[in-house]
Structure 1
Amino acid sequence: MLSVHPGELQPGSGRILNIGDQTKTVAQNLTETLGNMASAAGHPDLASALSKVGASAMKAAMDTAAGIEYLGNQAATAAKQFDQTDEQAKKHVDNAAGGAR
């Protein structure tokens, strides 16, 4: 059974989004490094291969980062919805208790 801890969703969403940002940074650094290696290779086929690997790595990492960002945003939305539902439930309980007096 899955348990949800609403108080952990909002801070957790921030940590998830941070991982997405770190993934983008790593991808950019990797692509830059492979680009520098391609420039310094001195062999056209090796330079071409390194450039292609760099482009593929960047696309894969950015796709991964987009997925991570989506998860982080979904967690933040869920946290907000839990808070709103909790507030509504409290109001209903207060109204019911007030009406029962």
Structure 2
Amino acid sequence: MEGYFVVMTTASGVDEAAAIAKAVVDEGLAACCNIVSGVRSIYRWKGEICDEAEVLCVMKTRGGLVEELTARIRELHGYEVPEVVALEIASGNGDYLRWIDECTSRTGLA
């Protein structure tokens, strides 16, 4: 998969979101992660309607890493079925997109 993607997951709290974010950035799977508190999620789970406070983690990566990033999030996540969705970036600041390349290049990691 070519191009650049925003990958999102929700977590039960800031600590879990930060642990996921630090791991995937450290491992070069994402260039950065924004952690957004104050998310309210309403969803159906096992036949019940749930209304929960969650934290959103928004990650930027290269298309070639989406599958590996998804697998790593699933390993780190506390939810039985974590949300992991990837949205393709149609356009963006060229310098920023090159920075994503630099940060997610395995040879560029120090």
- Greater Rg over alpha carbons, structure: 1
Q: If the length of structure 1 is used for normalisation, what is the TM-score?
A: 0.23
Task: Compare the two structures and name the one with the higher strand fraction.
Answer: 2
